[in-house]
């Protein structure tokens, strides 16, 4: 998945599920402001994690998913 596609996917989840996620977190914690902060931190962490994965990936274009006897 390209970086822009990942951002679009995360943004789509945020837009489509934000209210439900806040409601769930607030119901569990009893703190709406804390739930909003936690959810925004989670989205920032997801975007940062994706960037760190991209930096660690090998530059090879094609990889085998099954081991070979080369």
70: in domain: no
Element (H, E) at 33: helix 32-56
Domain tally, the chain = 1
Average predicted confidence (pLDDT) for the chain: 78
Domain range holding 31? 3-56
DSSP H or E stretch at residue 10: helix 3-29
* pLDDT, tens digit (0-9, with 9 covering 90-100), for 32-65: 999 999 999 988 888 787 665 555 555 555 555 5
Quick check: is 23 in a domain? yes
Write out pLDDT tens, residues 2-12.
667 877 887 88
**CA dist., res. 38 & res. 11, Å (int):** 16
Residue 66 inside a domain? The answer is no
3 contacts 54 by C-beta, under 8 angstroms: yes
Say what the pLDDT of residue 24 is. 93
Identify which has the larger pLDDT, 6 or 17: 17
Residue 40 lies in a domain: yes
User: Is 61 within a domain?
Assistant: no
Total Cβ atoms within 10 A of residue 29: 12
User: What's the whole-model pTM score?
Assistant: 0.59
In a domain, 62, yes or no: no
pLDDT of residue 50: 63
């Amino acid at each position: 998945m390209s970086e822009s596609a990942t951002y679009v996917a995360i943004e789509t989840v945020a837009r489509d599920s934000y209210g439900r996620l806040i409601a769930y977190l607030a119901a569990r914690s009893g703190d709406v402001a804390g739930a909003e902060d936690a959810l925004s931190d989670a989205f920032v962490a997801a975007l940062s994690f994706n960037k760190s994965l991209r930096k660690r990936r090998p530059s090879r274009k094609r990889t085998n998913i099954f081991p070979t006897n080369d």
